[in-house]
Amino acid sequence: MKYLSTVCTLIFILAFLCSFAFGETSPIAKGRKILDGSFAMSSSGGDLYEDLNGDRGASINGAVSGGYFLIPNLAVGAKFSLARDSYGDSSSTYWGIGPQLSYFIGSPEPKDDFQGVVYPFLSVCFLYSRDTAKMKILEETETFTDSLITIGLGGGICVMVSDTVGFVIRTDYEIDRLSPDEGDSISGNEIVLRAGIAAFGY
């Protein structure tokens, strides 16, 4: 439940920011702020997804980032991600945090109405993460902890649905390097498609 509470709190923050009416200044003008997030929850079962004890799987994951437009179109900020997967007595909790740089393509000039304006964007981030797994082995609960370094390169579009709120679709290419507390490091990569909401404020 605490993870559901975290998600609800983040959604409330976004809704709170969206409730303000900010003039006609461009969302990507110098001095503006951006907060965006995406979340997902799932429960899986059946022969394909249940573990050997017949337990269903549950997962929750989300990412929130915030930034400040130091100059028009360029936002400097940070990204935080959280994920949790569980099967019966086993669980895995992942969190990551690090800096993010985003560049939005479009005019930063003021206008009467920004609804319907589309801003393509590019981003790069560097995340340090920890993954803690708990597994029950022979009636004993064992804990395993790994460190993960991620370099993320992404891009997408932000479609403004009002002067302060945008719907975001993005694709990220993530290069990961996992360093277990014991054993050798291993590397991999992911391509991730995300959708979420962005709020722009002063």
Among 96-105, 178-187, 188-197, the range scoring the smallest mean pLDDT is 178-187
Residue given tokens 């930034």 in the structure block:
67
Q: Residue 55: which residues within 8 A CB-CB, separation 6 or more?
A: 87, 88
CA 188 centroid distance within chain: 19
Query: Residue 21: which pLDDT band, with cuts at 50, 70 and 90?
Result: very low
Domain count, the chain: 1
- The mean pLDDT of 168-197, rounded to a whole number, is 86
Closest CA to 122 of 99, 102, 151, 100: 102
Please tell me the predicted confidence (pLDDT) of residue 145.
83
**Structural domain harbouring 47:** 2-201
What would the two tokens of residue 173 be?
């290419």
Q: Identify the CATH number of the domain in which residue 194 sits.
A: 2.40.160.20
Strand partners, 147: 130, 179
CA 50 centroid distance within chain: 27
- Taking only the tens place, the pLDDT of each residue in 46-104 is 766 666 666 777 888 889 999 999 999 999 999 999 888 887 777 888 899 999 999 99
- Tell me which H or E stretch contains 10: helix 2-18
Among 9-23, 29-43, 59-73, the range scoring the smallest mean pLDDT is 9-23
Span between the terminal Cα atoms of the chain, in Å: 33
Does position 29 have pLDDT exceeding 60, yes or no?
A: yes
Q: Choose between 127 and 39: higher pLDDT.
A: 127
Please tell me the predicted confidence (pLDDT) of residue 20.
46
Burial group, residue 195, by CB count within 10 angstroms (0-12, 13-18, 19+): exposed
Please tell me the predicted confidence (pLDDT) of residue 34.
95
- Taking only the tens place, the pLDDT of each residue in 135-172 is 777 777 778 888 889 999 999 999 999 999 999 999 99
Q: What is the mean pLDDT of the chain?
A: 83
Q: In the chain, what percentage of residues exceed pLDDT 90?
A: 44
